[in-house]
């Protein structure tokens, strides 16, 4: 008779080695005296552990894994530091990524890099945490496996490649980058490019196939006496080869509701920072609430648990407030230092929006101020300590936080102010020139002007091509000086340390000189001999470089007027999708997209007349709802007179310019370009956008689509504390994801969602060519990024990342939407990394009414 199989039991002393009862000898041993059994057990235990220690850790990975085989590409000599800062140009690793040979790249000790003096691969020994003190351009970690295994990779480096596949980098050396990866049978290579911290590569076993991480939690602070209904977030890692669906997270603790939160599906070998609901009765004392987070599968079986203590603070203490962002559905936070006003005669508090510097957290920014009676300090996060330099998603975060704080805080709406330090000083400049009617005054401290004016920026030695000149116009919204006329509407207080060796005082001096020629309400203070971060006797219980009493005294003397009393509006924008409105005036459409548009209008309500001038404006909207008299209106604009205009019942008057003539028009269709949907691919990533990757192509094409989508999702998470759903085209439907913006990976052949979303697009991509209007570009090495309106929505957009063949698809790895200061025109086409076409769709989203350039290629004449 076959013996009954017994379920193996886990040996807790020697993990990974099961104890299975199969031998009669074992039963005989169990009949011996207890003392003898203990001797036998000790021998067995030592033998098993000896076997375990002798076996290579690369086989079982039951303990944190430290690889012994590693090479560093170091550069000796004076070029070493420069190359670590700027990298190789051209970079042979990037070339191998695009041509598809990176997976087969296996450097050996002593190998050199052609054309780079002193560059050589050298063996190094990794420390216990996987790091090396040897500085270098790249680290190559080599792991030989007898069987395939799923592990967690912790890294530090600006770029990460696992067996030739790009994964999220860790340029700033955060400790929370833990990527699920698969080590295949045989030789594996983990390649890291240098970042700001020493190179590090460390492997460990996941605690369960789908698990939680405590390394990057976003948690709120609770307040004594206040119940809570809010959100937290943490990373969920899927280290399986299947999509993780139906998982829930619940939080338990004193006074907390344990109701589970269903989390989105997580693709294979991926991570997702996901939100979970936190509901609490009002705590009665400060301290910490011990909580436990539990991850369960769709059957309700517990998969993993973590502790996550919640702080309880007094109502007047600086605290973190979490919220679900409408941009991408992620859980973000902002810090609040509430006003301490408590007397009956205290004024209604103001709001001061304060932007932090590089490497600073929002909570640290708020804590740098002493308590204030007359204003709240609200500190958004820019999405991360470095984030997006308060542009793009950082700018969106700041304005979303401002809107939330105005809705939740008791405040005086006429007293909204803006400040920031260092990178946050740039943020203050950028937000002020972009949204001048949102703030009564601005006070940049140690702020740099724009990327083009500050720091060591790599510039091409070659003059830009016509295509590049056109597409580079998309950077215009970042040029502070070009939008500086908007500052006329605000009080300005410029603060800088005279000996600042980080952001030179010349940045502030340049802005002061600019304001001197056009502004009447500004002040410049340069504190002698002070460096970047400083304090002195004037610090109001905070750090003087941010908590400068004279700046706030100036703020107190400024008020934001209601739009109904404003008689003159002078407004400048470079992109209505970013900023379109100032008081009762709105620039709806431009003539030249992403170029500066200007409007100056004067209103005489009793005369029922509006006069002014425009530049680069195709469609204007004037909100006249505050004019109570219903008599006809006359408009004199650009020396053209429009008389006897009936005031619209909606209160909004639309004026269109065509062929240098202005006419009154009806409200435009939402299917046209407008502030609701305008700008390049990066500008329209909102409405809780998601990624859709193609699965209808060849296996290698499908692999690229998934890997590129995962790479972008990880990059955005790292840079923006973000959470983006990533789904295959087979899961997408118009109804299930209504009114959400999308990023499609693949072309008309490889992505099944293309037909329902892009069948009418003037840009078409297949495996042979890219068609832009009537212009056809052929070859398998073409790539493109472009934006289109979502056809079934009045507000959502579709962003496409596509290639014609594998060479073109792989080229998109070098084009990412989720880095700061990277911007795109409406459509860009590349061949082997070089722009060959690009431009902006017209206001009807067509190529014909837009502005495009096409570079002539061999055998072709130039076409426009």
Q: Which residues contact 272 (CB under 8 A, 6 or more apart)?
A: 235, 236, 238, 263, 264, 266, 713, 717, 723, 725, 726
Whether 788 and 804 have beta carbons less than 8 Å apart is answered as: no
**Average pLDDT score, the chain:** 90
Question: pLDDT band for position 26 (50/70/90)?
Answer: very low
C-alpha torsion angle, residues 383, 388, 393, 395 (rounded to 10): 100
Question: What's residue 335's pLDDT?
Answer: 98
Q: How large is the average pLDDT for residues 250-255?
A: 96
Question: What's residue 47's pLDDT?
Answer: 30
Q: How large is the average pLDDT for residues 177-196?
A: 94
What is the value of pTM for the model shown? 0.91
pLDDT at 561 over 60: yes
Q: How large is the average pLDDT for residues 581-589?
A: 98
Q: How large is the average pLDDT for residues 303-326?
A: 97
pLDDT at 481 over 80: yes
Question: What's residue 37's pLDDT?
Answer: 38
Question: What's residue 501's pLDDT?
Answer: 95
Question: pLDDT band for position 599 (50/70/90)?
Answer: very high
User: Which range has the worst mean pLDDT, 265-274, 416-425, 553-562, 852-861?
Assistant: 852-861
Question: pLDDT band for position 484 (50/70/90)?
Answer: very high
* Helix and strand numbers, DSSP H then E, in the chain: 14, 50
Whether 318 and 366 have beta carbons less than 8 Å apart is answered as: yes
Question: What's residue 462's pLDDT?
Answer: 78
pLDDT at 843 over 80: yes
Question: What's residue 368's pLDDT?
Answer: 96
Q: How large is the average pLDDT for residues 516-529?
A: 96
Question: pLDDT band for position 457 (50/70/90)?
Answer: low
Question: What's residue 58's pLDDT?
Answer: 36
Question: What's residue 90's pLDDT?
Answer: 78
pLDDT at 448 over 80: yes
Question: What's residue 773's pLDDT?
Answer: 98
Q: How large is the average pLDDT for residues 371-398?
A: 97
Select the more confidently predicted residue: 89 or 270: 270
Query: What are the tens digits of pLDDT across the range 762-779?
Result: 999 999 999 999 999 999
Whole-angstrom distance, CA of residue 436 vs CA of residue 438: 6
pLDDT at 458 over 60: no
Strand partners, 105: none
Question: What's residue 83's pLDDT?
Answer: 63
User: Which range has the worst mean pLDDT, 133-147, 319-333, 430-444, 493-507?
Assistant: 133-147
Select the more confidently predicted residue: 228 or 135: 228
Question: pLDDT band for position 206 (50/70/90)?
Answer: very high
Question: What's residue 49's pLDDT?
Answer: 32
Most distant CA pair in the chain, distance:
112
For the record, the structure tokens of 807 come out as 């060479």
Choose among 341, 281, 286, 351: nearest CA to 319. Answer: 286
Question: What's residue 460's pLDDT?
Answer: 58
Select the more confidently predicted residue: 622 or 130: 622
For the record, the structure tokens of 282 come out as 């009002």
* Cα separations in angstroms, 307 against 125, 310, 389, 773: 35, 10, 33, 56
Question: What's residue 174's pLDDT?
Answer: 94
Question: pLDDT band for position 85 (50/70/90)?
Answer: low
Strand-pair category, 149-156 with 159-162: unpaired
Question: What's residue 858's pLDDT?
Answer: 64
What percentage of the chain reaches a pLDDT higher than 70?
89
pLDDT at 677 over 90: yes
Q: Which residues contact 261 (CB under 8 A, 6 or more apart)?
A: 248, 249, 250, 275, 276, 277
Choose among 83, 834, 775, 816: nearest CA to 471. Answer: 834
C-alpha torsion angle, residues 12, 13, 17, 22 (rounded to 10): -80
* Cα separations in angstroms, 33 against 24, 38, 415: 17, 9, 85
The alpha-carbon radius of gyration of the chain (Å, integer) is 30
Q: How large is the average pLDDT for residues 567-573?
A: 98
User: Which range has the worst mean pLDDT, 174-183, 306-315, 338-347, 583-592?
Assistant: 338-347
Q: Is 185 exposed, middle or buried (0-12, 13-18, 19+ CB in 10 A)?
A: exposed
Helix axes 393-408, 423-434, angle to 10 degrees: 70
For the record, the structure tokens of 193 come out as 């490019």
Residue 189 has what DSSP assignment? E
Question: What's residue 456's pLDDT?
Answer: 55
Choose among 734, 732, 765, 762: nearest CA to 748. Answer: 765
pLDDT at 745 over 90: yes
Strands (E), 194-290: 200-204, 210-218, 222-223, 228-238, 248-253, 261-262, 270-280, 287-289
pLDDT at 27 over 80: no
pLDDT at 830 over 70: yes
For the record, the structure tokens of 648 come out as 């619209």
Q: How large is the average pLDDT for residues 836-848?
A: 98
b/e 223-244 (16+ beta carbons within 10 angstroms → b): beeeebebbbbbbbbbbbeeeb
pLDDT at 88 over 90: no
Question: What's residue 81's pLDDT?
Answer: 58
Whole-angstrom distance, CA of residue 329 vs CA of residue 716: 13
Question: What's residue 77's pLDDT?
Answer: 64
Query: What are the tens digits of pLDDT across the range 782-828?
Result: 999 999 999 999 999 999 999 999 999 999 998 889 999 899 999 99
User: Which range has the worst mean pLDDT, 126-130, 397-401, 491-495, 640-644?
Assistant: 126-130
User: Which range has the worst mean pLDDT, 192-206, 289-303, 471-485?
Assistant: 192-206
Strand-pair category, 319-324 with 310-313: unpaired
Q: Is 728 exposed, middle or buried (0-12, 13-18, 19+ CB in 10 A)?
A: buried
Strand partners, 765: 770
């Amino acid at each position: 008779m076959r013996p009954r199989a017994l379920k193996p039991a886990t040996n807790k002393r020697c993990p990974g080695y099961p104890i299975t009862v199969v031998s009669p000898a074992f039963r005989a041993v169990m009949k011996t005296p207890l003392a003898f059994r203990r001797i036998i057990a000790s021998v067995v235990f030592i033998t098993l552990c000896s076997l375990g220690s002798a076996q290579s850790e690369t086989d079982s990975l039951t303990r944190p894994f430290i690889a012994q085989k590693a090479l560093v590409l170091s550069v000796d000599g004076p070029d070493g530091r420069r190359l670590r800062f700027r990298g190789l140009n051209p970079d042979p690793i990037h070339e191998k990524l695009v041509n598809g040979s990176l997976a087969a790249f296996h450097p050996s000790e002593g190998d050199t890099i052609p054309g780079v003096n002193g560059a050589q691969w050298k063996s190094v020994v990794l420390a216990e945490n996987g790091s090396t003190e040897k500085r270098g351009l790249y680290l190559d970690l080599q792991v030989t496996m007898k069987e395939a295994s799923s592990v967690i990779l912790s890294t530090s480096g600006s770029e990460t490649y696992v067996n030739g596949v790009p994964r999220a980098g860790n340029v700033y050396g955060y400790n929370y980058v833990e990527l699920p990866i698969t080590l295949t049978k045989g030789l594996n290579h983990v390649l890291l490019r240098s970042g700001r911290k020493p190179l590090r590569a460390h492997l460990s076993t996941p605690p369960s196939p789908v698990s939680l991480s405590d390394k990057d939690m976003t948690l709120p602070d609770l307040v004594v006496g206040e119940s809570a209904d809010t959100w937290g977030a943490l990373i969920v890692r899927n280290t399986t080869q299947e999509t993780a669906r139906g998982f829930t997270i619940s939080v338990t603790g004193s006074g907390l509701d344990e109701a589970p939160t269903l989390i989105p599906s997580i693709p294979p070998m991926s991570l997702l920072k996901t939100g979970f609901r936190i509901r609490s009765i009002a705590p009665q004392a400060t301290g910490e609430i011990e909580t436990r987070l539990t991850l369960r599968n769709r059957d309700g079986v517990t998969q993993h648990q973590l502790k996550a203590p919640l702080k309880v603070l007094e109502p007047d203490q600086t605290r973190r407030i979490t919220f679900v962002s409408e941009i991408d559905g992620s859980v973000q936070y902002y810090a609040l230092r509430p006003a301490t006003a408590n007397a009956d005669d205290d004024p209604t508090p103001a709001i001061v929006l304060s932007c932090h510097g590089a490497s600073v957290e929002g909570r640290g920014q708020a804590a740098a101020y002493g308590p204030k009676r007359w204003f709240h300090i609200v500190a958004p996060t820019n999405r991360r300590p470095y984030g997006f330099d308060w542009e793009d998603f950082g700018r969106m975060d700041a304005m979303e936080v401002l809107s939330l704080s105005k809705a939740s805080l008791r405040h005086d709406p006429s007293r909204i102010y803006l400040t920031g330090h260092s990178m946050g000083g740039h943020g203050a400049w950028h937000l002020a020139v972009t949204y001048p009617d949102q703030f009564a005054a601005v006070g940049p401290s140690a702020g740099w002007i724009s990327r083009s004016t500050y720091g060591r920026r790599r510039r091409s030695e070659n003059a830009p091509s016509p295509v590049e000149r056109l597409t580079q116009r998309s950077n215009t919204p970042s040029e502070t000086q070009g939008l500086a006329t908007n500052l006329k509407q605000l009080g300005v207080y410029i603060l800088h340390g005279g000996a600042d060796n980080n952001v030179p005082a010349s940045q502030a001096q340049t802005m002061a000189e600019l304001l001197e020629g056009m502004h009447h309400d500004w002040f410049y203070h340069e504190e002698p001999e002070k460096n970047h971060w400083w304090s002195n006797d004037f610090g109001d219980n905070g750090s003087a470089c941010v908590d400068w009493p004279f700046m706030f005294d100036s703020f107190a003397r400024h008020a934001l007027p209601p739009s109904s009393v404003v008689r003159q509006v002078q407004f400048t924008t470079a992109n209505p999708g970013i900023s379109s409105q100032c008081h009762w005036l709105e620039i709806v459409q431009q003539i030249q997209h992403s170029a500066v548009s200007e409007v100056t209008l004067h209103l005489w309500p009793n005369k029922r007349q509006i006069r002014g001038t425009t530049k680069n404006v195709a469609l204007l909207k004037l909100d006249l709802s505050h004019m109570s008299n219903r008599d006809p209106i006359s408009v004199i604009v650009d020396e053209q007179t429009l008389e006897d205009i009936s005031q619209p019942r909606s209160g909004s008057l639309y004026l269109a310019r065509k062929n240098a003539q202005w006419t009154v028009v009806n409200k435009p269709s939402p299917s046209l370009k407008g502030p609701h949907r305008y700008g390049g691919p990066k500008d329209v990533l909102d409405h809780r956008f998601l990624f859709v990757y193609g699965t209808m192509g060849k296996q290698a094409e499908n692999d690229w689509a998934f890997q590129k989508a995962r790479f972008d999702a990880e990059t955005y998470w790292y840079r923006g504390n973000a959470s983006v759903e990533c789904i295959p085209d087979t899961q997408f439907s118009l109804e299930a994801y209504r009114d959400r913006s999308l990023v499609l990976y693949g072309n008309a052949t490889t992505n099944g969602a293309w037909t329902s979303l892009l069948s009418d697009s003037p840009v078409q991509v297949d495996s042979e060519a890219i068609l832009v209007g009537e212009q056809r570009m052929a070859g398998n090495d073409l790539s493109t990024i472009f934006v289109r309106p979502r056809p079934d929505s009045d507000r959502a957009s579709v962003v496409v990342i596509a290639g014609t063949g594998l060479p073109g698809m792989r080229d998109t790895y070098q084009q990412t939407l989720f880095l700061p200061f990277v911007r795109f025109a409406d459509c860009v086409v590349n061949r082997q990394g070089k722009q060959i076409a690009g431009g902006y769709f017209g206001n009807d989203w067509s190529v014909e009414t837009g502005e495009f350039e096409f570079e002539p290629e061999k055998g072709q004449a130039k076409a426009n």
